[in-house]
Chain A
Amino acid sequence: MKIDVEKSLLWTATGAFLLFAVGAALTTIVPPMVSPEMWKSDYPVHEYTEQEQRGIQIYLSEGCVYCHTQQIRHLDSDKRRYGWRLVDAPESESWEYVNDRINFLGTKRTGPDLARVGGKYSSEWHWAHFKDPRNMGEKFPNRKGVYEKVSIMPSFDYLTDEEIKDLTAYIQTLGRNKNWRVDKDGNPLNDYEK
């Protein structure tokens, strides 16, 4: 029997489906089987508290992910830029995200990456920054000048005080799954300005 695909609805449809299905299966179902670090971790990973989870919901509905990624790529430039006090930030790895039910890896850096921002600034700083990133008041005079002119982060002063606290609580957890900020003797400094 000679099959003429171009005359047959069934064969065209089946052919298109089968060819597609190979790649579809191998790039969605197979990866978590071959690379279990995509969904499980051999190291302790932070479990979000209720407050932090509320923060995650705010991060989601305010769409922070459209301006901020959460991944230190495996590149020197990323590690250097998002480091802290001359310590390079370690690269992000799959296992660090296993508790992120809602992932915010992101695709666009209109603002800086936030993967390791937890602990970099005080919660007071975040408060002032969310209220108005262009003028954070007397206490943070270094935010004047160039920030005043070019920061294009929206001000989130329409969020309630509670909401800003929840959001900040979440932000402060970011990047702490790797113990990377240590002093000269190797003691962790991760709780800096919590």
Chain B
Amino acid sequence: MKQDTAAKTMIISSCIFFGFALTMGILTALKFVVPTVGDIEYLSMPRLRMLHTNINLFGWLLQANMGILFWILPRILHTKLFSEKLGVAMGVLYNLTIIGGLVCIALGKVKNVEYGEIPPPFDYLVAVCWVMFLINVVGTVAIRKVKYLYVTVWYTLGAVIWTTFVYITGNMLSQMPVMAGSNQANLIWFYVHNAVGLIFTPLGVAIAYYLIPKQLDTPIYSHKLSMIGFWVISFVYVWTGAHHMLHGPSPHWLQTVSIIFSFSLIIPVMAVITNFFGTFATAPRGKRMLGPIPKLLMMGTVYYVFTCLQGPFQAIRSVNEITSKTDWVVGHAHMALFGAFSYYAMAGIYYVAPKLAGRKLYSEKMGDLHFWLMTLASIPFFAVLWIGGVIQGFAWLNPENTFVETLAALKHAHWMRFSTGAVIFGSYFLFFYNIMQTFFGKYSEDAEVEAETVAAE
């Protein structure tokens, strides 16, 4: 089978899913300002929300990350993908599985697992696909032609191992007949939190660890920081699930443990971030911000800093009292999965797509425009969710305010969220068009000739 078919399949389908995910997002935001639009079962707000999160997590982000890594891993390991056939088979099965799962969600057949609503048998199939991915990753590392494993490989290996357990615990074990109440909730939050922390964080960071030095043509700033970042995160991340239950019905000691470890997360995160910014700072000036890729990587890192500083502080009991259960949390989650990791994934696709197509990106200018529109819209988008959340949190402290009054105070915030979200949605099409043109479009031969000379070099 032709080399890189698996990477190409997964990257293209992930870009399509991304569009659907954003559509669901914007419709959900619309429901918050005009709750009566589309008043039918399949378009009710919870269904849209479940579709939004699942399409984003599985259809878009996870798939994009796997596609990009299918391309990157063989390059750093100086070898071919362990099995291209297995990769393609997995890609096809994965897409069918996700579509099946999404249809179930639309029909209301769901599990009570946030981020894991996809019901059996489709969730079991996701696990099967994941094992196929694991075999391919481990196989590719085993047949490598270089001695040392680069940071990207550590993170990818970590992610495939951790995720297997995290996914099975959250989606299968939590649904076993003996599980109930706060015990079940604990397992589910173990999954919800580690889905972000031990699936998307390591995969996103793995991609950034490859792209930043490559794109800037500068060695990574510090090897020691890479090691600290990786080994500390493997130890501390997994403890934090219970911070979703602070002040709630779960053992007090478990909450305290999760707070301590949530706070310790500052260590690995700062190691990674210092490393990324250090690399940017030591890169040649002319290259630092040329085209959409370094911009997305830089901004993704900035968002990563913010999310990962919010996290530890939100886990402090007194701060949590205000921010928890409000729109703040929505802002926080968006900045992690959209701000940081989707930015890295988009940078990865801008980098890999032209290589797969064997020519230059269709338009760097359009890529820049996409970046600026998306970024300038996402900053107020996040900010308004936080501000709304804090307003809500403090309003709830005063029992004189009825619940609906505290909701009324958010009307403007919800309108802002919808309108800035609409700009983000619009800018997605620039990204999509650019990538599709790069793969399938017909554009001036010049560009292709240039790409060939680049390749020849």
Quick check: is A172 within 8 A (CB to CB) of the other chain?
A: no
- With A15-B234, A24-B165, A35-B251: A154-B44 Cβ-Cβ less than 8 Å: yes
Across the interface, which residues of A come within 8 angstroms of B103, CB to CB? none
Number of A-B contacts (CB under 8 A): 224
Quick check: is A182 within 8 A (CB to CB) of the other chain?
A: no
- With A20-B238, A23-B238: A100-B44 Cβ-Cβ less than 8 Å: no
Across the interface, which residues of A come within 8 angstroms of B110, CB to CB? 60-61, 63
Q: Is the CB of A155 within 8 A of B39?
A: yes
Q: Is the CB of B35 within 8 A of A152?
A: yes
> Interface of chain B, helix or strand or loop or mixed?
helix
Q: Is the CB of A27 within 8 A of B44?
A: no
Q: A94 CA to B248 CA in the complex, in Å?
A: 9
Q: A158 CA to B41 CA in the complex, in Å?
A: 7
Quick check: is B455 within 8 A (CB to CB) of the other chain?
A: no
Closest beta carbon of chain A to B409's beta carbon, Å: 9
Quick check: is B212 within 8 A (CB to CB) of the other chain?
A: no
Picked from B178, B241, B248, B254, the residue with its CB within 8 Å of the CB of A92 is B248
Quick check: is B69 within 8 A (CB to CB) of the other chain?
A: no
Q: Is the CB of B399 within 8 A of A81?
A: yes
Q: Is the CB of B248 within 8 A of A103?
A: no
Q: Is the CB of B251 within 8 A of A151?
A: no
Quick check: is B47 within 8 A (CB to CB) of the other chain?
A: yes
Chain B residues at the A interface, C-beta cutoff of 8 Å: 31-32, 35-36, 39-41, 44-47, 49-50, 108-110, 112, 114, 138, 141-142, 147-149, 153-154, 157-158, 161-162, 165-166, 169, 177-188, 190, 198, 230-231, 234-239, 241-242, 244-251, 253-254, 257-258, 261, 321, 325-326, 329-330, 396-399, 402-405, 407-408, 411
26 pairs from A and B in contact (CB 8 Å cutoff): A7-B149, A8-B149, A9-B149, A20-B161, A23-B261, A38-B182, A62-B44, A63-B44, A66-B49, A67-B45, A73-B246, A73-B247, A74-B248, A77-B396, A78-B247, A92-B248, A98-B180, A98-B181, A102-B112, A104-B112, A112-B403, A150-B404, A150-B408, A151-B404, A152-B407, A158-B41
| Extra A-B contacts (18), CB below 8 Å, given A63-B44, A151-B35 | A7-B147, A12-B154, A13-B138, A27-B186, A31-B186, A31-B251, A65-B112, A71-B249, A73-B321, A74-B248, A81-B396, A92-B248, A97-B180, A101-B179, A103-B181, A105-B248, A147-B404, A154-B45
